Amino acid sequence: MESPSILSLISFPEFLDQVQDGLYVVDTERRIVFWNRAAAELTGFSAAEVTGQTCSDTGVLNHRTMSGESLCTEESCPLLRCMRTNAGGTVPHLILMNTASGRPLPISLSVGPLQAKDGSAVGAIALFRSMREEYQQRKLAVEIQKRTITSHGFTRNGAKVDTMYAAMDEIGGDFLEAFFLDESTLIATVADATGHGISASLFTMVYKTLLHSSFAQSREPGMVLESVNRGFLETAGVDGFYVGACLVSFDATSRQGRYAAAGHPQGLIFAPVEGGYRLRDRLGVHSPMLGMVETARYAGLAFQLAPREFLLLSSDGMLESPCRDGKQFGIAGIEAFFSRYAGTAPLDDLLAEVRRTSAFLPLADDVSALMVTSL
């Protein structure tokens, strides 16, 4: 006589209770139907307190990103997404959740769909673990990064600079900066390192260091990028890790500028028209990313901005953002947005439009942009 399978002898709820990570199960309405012992120990919420409540209730779990973006909406909830797509996975960034003490708990979260025998969706399972130590390290990295980028716009000597930075993870692989070399020469740059998170951010900091040191040799953007490229390969070259960048030198007095790029999206020049702005010109050159080719040459392009015209520099995260209609946001999305824009916070509003049309929330990549307006 064949011995019974060990699985037939195990109580499923008791098995889940033995899992050392926090674990809970929701039905298709996101009502919590099971809450294991580890979840209770990690959060301070007993099973009796949370069972029967929906995980979307912000008074219960209130999952959100480190920047405060909710993960409990119809568009952003990982549990809803896995039930709709029948595909599980791990959320690619740290999440904060509520605890009974009121102190947020940083966690990693993995989710998976649950199906009945007929294949129909009946709910989802979530597994989480505390990430307090990594959270503290990331908080420090975020603060350091905030001090290396131009996080706030400014107006000076006939030029207005606007900036926007939205990291996919708590810390991003994008970089942007604007500063005056002298009374009239404005330098503006946007860069994007391969990958995400802390490792990518380290490469952008190397880029910043090399960029500033290269201005001692030249002010021509193309030659500066060539110097940065050589320095990058000598000091930080790692196979598979590169930096795409664009660099602008703009004379706010003459309104003339120079543009160069290394494997980076085009710069876009917009001119004011009735009811908004029209795309007047594109600045683009085909060139390798920094760190790819030691002998790479980066040509510069001349441009001019009339009063009220602006140059937009953006990372590929904006252009390649997947929309719900199956297309990418692209230059067409930027052009459509500005064609009817009359507000006073253009880049914040542009980011809101990218999020509104995105197929994924939070966004699937870092998104950053810098705008130089001639006054």
Single residue among 71, 95, 130 that ends a domain in this structure = 130
Q: Are residues 53 and 144 in the same domain?
A: no
Among 306, 331, 319, smallest CA distance to 358 is for 319
Q: Are residues 330 and 254 in the same domain?
A: yes
Q: Are residues 216 and 108 in the same domain?
A: no
pLDDT at 55 (0 to 100):
84
Q: Dihedrals φ, ψ of 335, to 5°?
A: -60, -45
Single residue among 82, 100, 130 that ends a domain in this structure = 130
pLDDT at 184 (0 to 100):
95
Q: Dihedrals φ, ψ of 40, to 5°?
A: -65, -40
Q: Are residues 154 and 108 in the same domain?
A: no
Exposure string (b/e) for 246-258, b if CB count within 10 Å is 16 or more?
bbbbbbbeebebb
The pLDDT tens digits along the chain (375 residues) read 566 677 677 787 888 888 999 999 999 999 999 999 999 999 999 999 999 999 878 778 999 987 788 888 888 899 998 998 889 998 878 899 999 999 999 999 999 999 998 888 899 999 999 998 888 887 787 788 888 899 999 999 999 999 999 887 667 789 999 999 999 999 999 999 987 777 788 888 899 999 999 998 999 999 999 999 999 998 876 777 899 999 999 999 999 999 999 999 999 999 999 999 999 999 988 899 999 999 999 999 999 999 999 999 999 999 999 998 899 999 999 999 999 999 999 999 999 999 999 987 777 788 999 999 999
Residue 265: inside a domain = yes
Q: Are residues 110 and 165 in the same domain?
A: no
Q: Dihedrals φ, ψ of 350, to 5°?
A: -65, -40
pLDDT at 114 (0 to 100):
94
The domain of 226 spans 136-374
Residue 251: inside a domain = yes
Q: Are residues 166 and 305 in the same domain?
A: yes
Question: Are 287 and 263 spatial neighbours (Cβ–Cβ below 8 Å)?
Answer: yes
Q: Are residues 149 and 178 in the same domain?
A: yes
Cα distance between residue 314 and residue 168, in whole Å: 15
Question: Are 87 and 65 spatial neighbours (Cβ–Cβ below 8 Å)?
Answer: no
Q: How many CB atoms neighbour CB 300 within 10 A?
A: 21
Q: Are residues 125 and 71 in the same domain?
A: yes
- Count Cβ atoms within 10 A of the Cβ of residue 161 and give its class: 0-12 exposed, 13-18 middle, 19 or more buried: buried
Single residue among 77, 97, 130 that ends a domain in this structure = 130
Cα distance between residue 290 and residue 312, in whole Å: 21
- Whole-model pTM: value is 0.77
End-to-end CA distance of the chain: 89
Beta strand 310-314 with 22-27 is unpaired
Residue 1: inside a domain = no
Q: 3-class SS at 297? A: coil
pLDDT at 1 (0 to 100):
53
* Chain mean position to CA 92: 11
CATH number of the domain that 237 lies in? 3.60.40.10
The number of folded domains in the chain is 2
pLDDT at 237 (0 to 100):
66
β-partners of residue 131 are none
Signed CA dihedral, 219, 220, 224, 225: sign only: positive
Q: Are residues 76 and 105 in the same domain?
A: yes
Cα distance between residue 102 and residue 111, in whole Å: 24
- Residues written for the chain: 375
Q: Are residues 140 and 236 in the same domain?
A: yes
CATH number of the domain that 32 lies in? 3.30.450.20
Beta strand 95-97 with 256-262 is unpaired
Give the count of alpha carbons within 13 A of 278, CB side only. Answer: 3
pLDDT at 7 (0 to 100):
67
Q: Are residues 182 and 106 in the same domain?
A: no
Q: Are residues 118 and 231 in the same domain?
A: no
pLDDT at 79 (0 to 100):
93
Q: Dihedrals φ, ψ of 223, to 5°?
A: -70, -35
Cα distance between residue 97 and residue 179, in whole Å: 38
Q: Which two tokens stand for residue 27?
A: 């039905």
